[in-house]
Amino acid sequence: MTFMSECPSCGRSIAWSTDNPYRPFCSARCKGADLIGWAEEKNVLPVDSEDEDFPREPED
Ligand SMILES: [Zn+2]
């Protein structure tokens, strides 16, 4: 009995097998792509207005 699954990265139908070290991905490439995506997402910090710390004009 073979379970079919879909690679979360490329969507290709793959056989869910314990022989597949890359599951749930179809290949090392897809697994790597997903990990890279995660890493990039983690490293992307929301750009706040901190950079635009423009000097305020004194109110006097
Ligand atoms: Zn894939």
Tell me the CA–centroid distance for residue 48 and ligand 1, in Å: 35
User: Does residue 22 sit within a domain?
Assistant: yes
Q: Domain limits at 17? A: 3-36
User: Does residue 49 sit within a domain?
Assistant: no
* Total domain count, the chain: 1
Tell me the CA–centroid distance for residue 5 and ligand 1, in Å: 11
CATH number at residue 21: 3.30.50.10
User: Does residue 18 sit within a domain?
Assistant: yes
pTM exceeding 0.75: no
User: Does residue 47 sit within a domain?
Assistant: no
User: Does residue 28 sit within a domain?
Assistant: yes
User: What percentage of the chain has pLDDT greater than the value 70?
Assistant: 63
Tens-digit pLDDT profile for residues 11-20 = 999 888 888 8
User: Does residue 27 sit within a domain?
Assistant: yes
The average pLDDT across 29-43 equals 73
Q: 26: exposed, middle or buried (C-beta count within 10 Å: 0-12, 13-18, 19+)?
A: buried
Q: Which pLDDT belongs to residue 3?
A: 81
